[in-house]
């Protein structure tokens, strides 16, 4: 997995979302949702918008499948594939 991509996603979570997390507290294999990192549906939508802006990509409606947002490792791989294709 691309550690740079993971770090960039962690930075977005810590610095740009209204969450009370430190970078070192984010488990890359924990769920992004409430039972893991704790992002709710509103925060996930904000996170998606920030990813699109930071990486100059667009998610299609079909790509907004929760499987892509299972955890940070999965999301980082997905974003890396989108940026490589862009």
pLDDT digits (tens, 9 = 90+) for 41-69: 899 999 999 999 999 999 999 888 888 88
Task: Using alpha carbons, list the distances in angstroms from residue 37 to 29, 63, 71, 72.
Answer: 10, 21, 9, 10
Average pLDDT value over all residues in the chain: 91
Q: Which domain holds residue 72?
A: 3-85
For residues 57 and 50, the answer to whether their CB atoms sit within 8 Å is: no
The CATH number given to whatever domain includes residue 44 is: 1.10.1200.10
Is the pLDDT at 77 greater than 80? The verdict is yes
Average pLDDT rounded to a whole number, residues 2-12: 94
Q: How many domains does the chain have?
A: 1
For residues 76 and 6, the answer to whether their CB atoms sit within 8 Å is: yes
Distance CA 86, CA 70 (A): 23
Q: What is the pTM of this model?
A: 0.90
pLDDT of residue 54: 96
């Amino acid at each position: 997995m691309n550690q740079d991509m993971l770090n960039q996603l962690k930075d977005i979570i810590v610095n740009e979302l209204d969450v009370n997390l430190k970078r070192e507290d984010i488990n890359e294999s924990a769920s992004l949702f409430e039972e893991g990192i704790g992002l709710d549906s509103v925060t996930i939508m904000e996170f998606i918008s920030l990813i699109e802006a930071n990486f100059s990509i667009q998610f299609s409606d079909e790509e907004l499948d929760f499987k892509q947002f299972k955890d940070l490792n999965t999301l980082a791989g997905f974003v890396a594939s989108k940026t490589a294709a862009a």
